Amino acid sequence: MMTPITDTFQRPLRDLRISVTDRCNFRCVYCMPKEVFGTNYPFLKKEEQLTLEEWSRLVRVFASIGVQKVRITGGEPLLWSDLPSLISRIRHDTEIRDISLTTNGVFLPKMVKQLKNAGLNRVNISLDALDPKTFLKMNGGILNVHHVLDGIESAKDADLIVKVNMVVLKGVNEHEVLPMASYFKDRGITLRFIEFMDVGNTNDWTEGKVMSTTDIYKTIHQSMPLKPLEASYFGEVAKRYQYVDSTAEVGFISSITNPFCTSCTRARISSDGQLYTCLFASKGVKMKEWLRSGISDEELSSRVKAVWEKRADQYSNERNRIDKKAKIEMSYIGG
Ligand code: SAM
Ligand code: SF4
Ligand code: SF4
């Protein structure tokens, strides 16, 4: 078995999140507010972004140093035309058997079979409300909720493991917690509640807008009792519960009220090939330059190892003690 490389807190590098595009067809208020991400926003140009060949090589190199899971995200990863080819290469060229996608789900009905055939195992679909008006308020007024619900259905029909992610903002969609919980409980789909995070600098985050895991839990538990479940592996981000009268589960991702930095095993790569060792980083390591300078796979892996071994990130643990400016945006680095 491969000896894992660890950072200064002895956390192994297990999980790779790759953002294949910084563009998106939504403008969620907590991620890409439309007032900031308008027509003049300087999105990355095609030549600035990694190619399919470069992504395939990077994932191979990360797999060779211990990465076991790859999550493909964005921006909206279904807008990236090479997605099926990349999944298929990861499946064939590496031993990674856990390949997942985070998406707003809109293009799943037309793409999901191809993605499943390429080797995709799991999909997390973001949905913040069932009520059409609230949904539109959350996604920047772009699309009706039935498009996402159709995407969720199509992923279930394709036999993928499906989870739904909901970000809860106080006073905006908190009234949707119970309807969402009940809807997905009935369908046996795991719903995960994500506390609104202070990622980037544009989403107008304040602590007052965060609906805490404790409050969400109480809201659900009062009408649909829950019981806790054991974590299924080291570093599992969501705290999982099961309904007492059903096999359906819910999860809580409490980056604000209960940080999980001590077990963080994730590295992230942006679509222009920068390596980030924390979601709240200000600076990345420019791997695109390495890739394009002609270095060998061995040299590439030893440079990545060196970055990881120096890593000392624990932003969520320190959030209240530091005033960090210039964080990178969620749509650039992926969730
Ligand atoms: N477009 C895809 C989607 O929405 O699923 C993938 C990219 S999106 C950046 C990845 C995840 O980050 C989504 O589940 C989204 O809800 C979550 N997210 C974005 N901004 C967030 C924030 N400020 N706080 C908490 N979660 C956030
Ligand atoms: Fe797009 Fe996903 Fe961000 Fe919403 S959360 S704006 S769908 S990248
Ligand atoms: Fe990992 Fe950084 Fe998030 Fe902590 S704040 S869990 S180190 S990504």
C-beta 249 within 6 A of ligand 1: no
In this prediction, residue 326 carries a pLDDT of 76
Q: How confident is the model at residue 324 (pLDDT cuts 50, 70, 90)?
A: low
Q: Is residue 8 part of a domain?
A: no
Q: Is residue 70 part of a domain?
A: yes
- Indicate which atom in ligand 3 lies nearest the CA of residue 315: 5
- Give distance in angstroms: CA of 335 to centre of ligand 1: 5
Residues 235-245, mean pLDDT to the nearest whole number:
94
In this prediction, residue 325 carries a pLDDT of 67
In this prediction, residue 8 carries a pLDDT of 96
- Indicate which atom in ligand 1 lies nearest the CA of residue 24: 1
Task: Share the mean pLDDT of the chain.
Answer: 95
In this prediction, residue 129 carries a pLDDT of 98
Whether the per-residue pLDDT at 322 is higher than 80: the answer is no
Q: Is residue 5 part of a domain?
A: no
- Give distance in angstroms: CA of 74 to centre of ligand 2: 8
> For a pocket test of ligand 2, which of 104, 123, 135, 205 has the largest count of ligand atoms closer than 8 A to its C-beta?
104
- Give distance in angstroms: CA of 192 to centre of ligand 1: 12
Which pTM was predicted? 0.96
- Give distance in angstroms: CA of 328 to centre of ligand 1: 13
- Give distance in angstroms: CA of 193 to centre of ligand 3: 17
Q: Is residue 10 part of a domain?
A: no
> For a pocket test of ligand 3, which of 6, 315, 324, 330 has the largest count of ligand atoms closer than 8 A to its C-beta?
315
Q: How far apart are CA 203 and CA 104, in angstroms?
A: 18
* Structure token pair of residue 62: 């990360």
C-beta 193 within 6 A of ligand 1: no
In this prediction, residue 161 carries a pLDDT of 97
pLDDT of 46-79, one tens digit each?
Answer: 999 999 999 999 999 999 999 999 999 999 999 9
Q: How many domains does the chain have?
A: 1
In this prediction, residue 321 carries a pLDDT of 76
- Give distance in angstroms: CA of 27 to centre of ligand 2: 6
Q: Is residue 325 part of a domain?
A: yes
CATH of residue 320's domain is 3.20.20.70
Least confident of 188-197, 233-242, 293-302: 233-242
**Domain coverage including residue 65:** 15-333
In this prediction, residue 89 carries a pLDDT of 98
Q: How confident is the model at residue 1 (pLDDT cuts 50, 70, 90)?
A: low
Q: Which residues contact 18 (CB under 8 A, 6 or more apart)?
A: 55, 58, 59, 70, 71, 72, 73, 268, 269, 334
What are phi and psi for residue 192, nearest 5 degrees? -120, 130
Q: Is residue 204 part of a domain?
A: yes
Q: Is residue 315 part of a domain?
A: yes
pLDDT of 89-143, one tens digit each?
Answer: 999 999 999 999 999 999 999 999 999 999 999 999 999 999 999 999 999 999 8
C-beta 76 within 6 A of ligand 1: yes
- Indicate which atom in ligand 1 lies nearest the CA of residue 198: 23
- Give distance in angstroms: CA of 1 to centre of ligand 2: 38
Q: How confident is the model at residue 319 (pLDDT cuts 50, 70, 90)?
A: confident
C-beta 199 within 6 A of ligand 1: yes
DSSP sequence for 151-168: HHHHHHHTT-EEEEEEEE
DSSP sequence for 111-151: HHHHHHHHT--EEEEE---SSHHHHHHHHTS---HHHHHHH
Strands 274-276 vs 285-286: parallel, antiparallel or unpaired? antiparallel
Q: Is residue 197 part of a domain?
A: yes
What b-and-e string marks burial along 31-61, b requiring 16 or more CB atoms within 10 Å of the CB? bbbeeebeeeeeebeeeebbeeeebbbbbbb
* Structure token pair of residue 191: 């719903």
Residues flanking ligand 3, CB < 6 Å: 260-261, 264, 266, 278-280, 313-316
Residues 9-22, mean pLDDT to the nearest whole number:
97
End-to-end CA distance of the chain: 30
C-beta 28 within 6 A of ligand 2: yes
Q: How far apart are CA 153 and CA 162, in angstroms?
A: 9
Residues 318-328, mean pLDDT to the nearest whole number:
77
- The pLDDT > 90 percentage for the chain reads 86
Residues 170-188, mean pLDDT to the nearest whole number:
98
C-beta 123 within 6 A of ligand 1: no
pLDDT of 191-237, one tens digit each?
Answer: 999 999 999 889 999 999 999 999 999 999 999 999 999 998 888 89
Whether the per-residue pLDDT at 12 is higher than 80: the answer is yes
> For a pocket test of ligand 2, which of 21, 27, 28, 35 has the largest count of ligand atoms closer than 8 A to its C-beta?
28
